[in-house]
A and B are shown apart, each in its own frame.
Chain A
Amino acid sequence: NAGVTQTPKFQVLKTGQSMTLQCAQDMNHEYMSWYRQDPGMGLRLIHYSVGAGITDQGEVPNGYNVSRSTTEDFPLRLLSAAPSQTSVYFCASSYSRGRTEAFFGQGTRLTVV
């Protein structure tokens, strides 16, 4: 049981490049989310999903796309990287019923130069 797995752990991009951050969970959680962490601002929600085929925007969705074709996977795509997207990204998953706490991946530290 690996929990929530994020890849890569570190990434450096040039402005304008695109990339996909991978997230997979093996706990059969219905809910999955992406957050970004910036100094002094806590974590902010980018996109979330309540199940396969269903996604919606969070607080800071601009510049990011998501899709959820399976229960297990929830990739985050950066369409055209900008220096403002330099951040630490966390993927999380949780149950829709019963236990409500979110389980987080290890995080991806992204630098856009």
Chain B
Amino acid sequence: SQQGEEDPQALSIQEGENATMNCSYKTSINNLQWYRQNSGRGLVHLILIRSNEREKHSGRLRVTLDTSKKSSSLLITASRAADTASYFCAIQPMNRDDKIIFGKGTRLHILP
């Protein structure tokens, strides 16, 4: 399938530590996006990284993209309790403007 696949499926870390989540996909992409979802709530767009970009930062978030390996990582530095959520990567396949394809997500739990 084309979809992104995140790993790990679940991650628990102590507050203050860094959290790294990975995403792999199988098709050529226009861009890859990361979203956060608090339990039972809506999707919050975090970062979009284009296929010609290798790294992007936004506050405590750092996203990398390796198109040769078809993989991406999301790093959250200095984690906080409020970062507890599910994180999804979503790919926009090459030449397809009309949809993005989500992975199953990583459930991140920040321990106080």
Q: Are A and B bound to each other?
A: no
